[in-house]
Amino acid sequence: MPFFEPFRQAPRIHLGWVIALCALWTLLGLVGHDPWKPDEANSFGLIYSILQGSDWVIPMLAGEPFMEKPPLYYLTSAALAKLFSGWLPLHDGARLASGLYMGLALTFTGLTGRELWGKGYGRITALIMIACLGLVVRTHQIITDTALLAGVAVALYGLALAPRRPAIAGIIIGTGMGIGFMSKGLFELGIIAVTAALLPFLSSTWRSQKYAICLFIAFIVALPWLTIWPFLLHQRAPLLFMEWLWTNNLGRLTGATPLISSFEPGYYLTILPWFAWPALPLALWTLWRHNWKEGFIPAIALPLTAFLVILLILSTAVTARDVYALPLLPPLSVLATAAVNSLRRGAANSLDWFSVMTFTLFAVVLWLGWYATLTGHPVEIAHWIDKRQPGYIAHFEGMPLLLAVTLSAAWLTVITRMKRGALRGIVNSALGITLAWGLLATIWLPWLDADKSYRAMIVSMQGSLPANYNCISSQHLGEPQRALLHYFAGIITLRTEIDDNHCELKLIQNRADFQEMAEPGWKLVWQGHRQGDASEIYSLFQKH
């Protein structure tokens, strides 16, 4: 039985409909575009090296070790890329790993909501999670954070299940911790361990011998995940092991790292209002409505503790980025679940009205802009789009258009026919974000890809290469660019920052306001930039 019976029985919504919407939300945008700078390019560079035969123990990017993260996500992506290589380009096949891990994250977050709040509430939890604005773009990219998110969701479900089925829960917790550790390192291991240790102090539900046994089982299950790869890495390359452990894990938290930091203690508090919308206000409503004379009931103790632990650790780290906030969303969505059934009518109607108006307006703008790229009308919109990406030629593609029309028709049907009720605001939020993302991932995807891809620039540079040359050196060239040069052109540059090589070609990356002049004995043979970013200029020089 669930720990806590909410205010009343969960509102009815068909499980099959929720699964279909979550599947559609997950699959949209996974295929059909090149790896984008910066995170996708970095990650795919590591995946491509595995596909080219590099050793998985030492992640390699364009011929050099790259020790930021363990290899679980890269191995999963490489396996899927190879499996689907007959149907999809390698980068699209690799991106399916994000869909796989997001499917796990949504499933186990929903199971946590069901376990804590009761039957029928898990599907509401899943809808709240996919409605979150900060989730949609990042989780459709080739990034390890999707695997971390899955690990957090799995481990949280294990903690929720622990008082009822401690043995199975221990296996689940250990597996979740292993997935998170092998995806991003020590971060997830720390947040689950601290959360698990705090729960007995907050609720008697976890204050038992069975819970201690559960945690012991979790430790045993997690042990292979936590030791095999680090042991192999240390055996093969002790210096790289120390770089991974101290620089890229503990160093990011303590500041004892040469990496560029962006320490902003309040950063995540400033982005949460939009990043976690609508989960954040619903979670706050749950806390407001709770009868605190009852203390920390399990359905509040677990997600609130996990959320605060994650927020505290993130806020003390020396690096801050929106993508790092993804693990905050599963516990926040669980905490928000009960609020859907207890919102006052005015608040529920306001959420519904906001969702309908916002996503309808957004869809109209996207359709109008797409029409302008094809016809040149309205002139003002067509001019703005052309100014943003000069030279872009719109292409009419039947299947993406059909899918976009279907999504828009489904949206209009739901908002006009769905009866008012407790769930209407959340359903419209989840369906609205799916519509918006679906339009971007179908009719707007070629435009976005032309704006964010490096393929055209690299092909242009490749055409300027001499027929014979010994090697290409690089200066100031970023990791995304090195990775995509390897993928699109088979070029591995030798960085002058590491070795003063004697290549007859040199590729230099600089800001547009800093034009690189030819050194004595060198001549400029090509210069260009990515279509969507003229702020970076790439210059190729050849030795006389």
The predicted-structure confidence for 267-279, as pLDDT tens digits, reads as follows 999 999 999 999 9
Helix spans in 84-185 (H) = 90-117, 122-131, 145-161, 166-184
Of 425, 452, 479, the position where a domain reaches its end is 452
Q: Check: CB of residue 475 under 8 Å from CB of residue 454.
A: no
Domain assignment present for residue 185? The answer is yes
Is 410 inside any structural domain?
yes
Angle at which helices 298-316 and 90-117 cross, to 10°:
140
Confidence of residue 169 (pLDDT cuts 50, 70, 90): very high
Same domain? For 463 and 436 the reply is no
Rounded CA-CA distance 188/182 in Å is 10
For residues 508 and 494, give the distance between their C-alpha atoms in angstroms, rounded to a whole number. 12
Q: Are residues 366 and 315 in the same domain?
A: no
Q: What is the DSSP string of 31-63?
A: SSSPPPTTHHHHHHHHHHHHHTT--SSS-EETT
Strand (E) or helix (H) holding 425? helix 424-440
Query: Which of 287, 314, 341 lies at the terminal end of a domain, its last residue?
Result: 341
Is 53 part of a structural domain of the chain?
Answer: yes
In a domain, 177, yes or no: yes
> Do both 59 and 41 map to the same domain?
yes
Instruction: Verify that 293 and 372 share a domain, yes or no.
Output: no
Domain annotation covers residue 8:
no
Residue 6 belongs to some domain of the structure: no
Is 7 a domain residue?
Answer: no
Residues 135, 260, single domain; the answer is yes
Q: What is the mean pLDDT of residues 313-332?
A: 92
Bridge partner list, 494? 473
pLDDT digits over 126-158, tens only?
999 999 999 999 999 999 999 999 999 999 999
Model pLDDT, residue 3 = 42
Residues 385 and 469 in one domain: no
Closest CA to 508 of 472, 544, 483: 472
Q: 406 with 295, same domain?
A: no
d(CA 291, CA 278) in angstroms, rounded, equals 23
- The kind and range of the H/E element at 541 are strand 533-543
Tell whether 303 is covered by a domain: yes
Same-domain pairing of 295 and 152: yes
Residue 249 sits in the same domain as residue 127: yes
The greatest distance separating any two alpha carbons of the chain, rounded to the nearest whole angstrom, comes to: 82
Q: How would residue 259 be classed by pLDDT, with cut points 50, 70 and 90?
A: low
Q: What percent of the chain has pLDDT over 90?
A: 71
Examine the domain organization and report whether 60 and 87 are in the same domain.
yes
On whether both 37 and 154 belong to a single domain, the answer is yes
Least confident of 9-18, 99-108, 128-137, 298-307: 9-18
Which of the listed residues 320, 341, 362 is the one where a domain comes to its end?
341
- Note the pLDDT of residue 258: 55
Same domain, 430 and 481: no
Residue whose C-alpha is closest to residue 277's, from 325, 239, 309:
325
Cα 160 from Cα 448, distance rounded (Å) = 41
Residues 485-503 have a mean pLDDT of 88
CA 319 and chain centroid, separation: 17
Split into its structural domains, the chain has a count of 3
Q: Which range marks the domain in which residue 460 is found?
A: 455-543
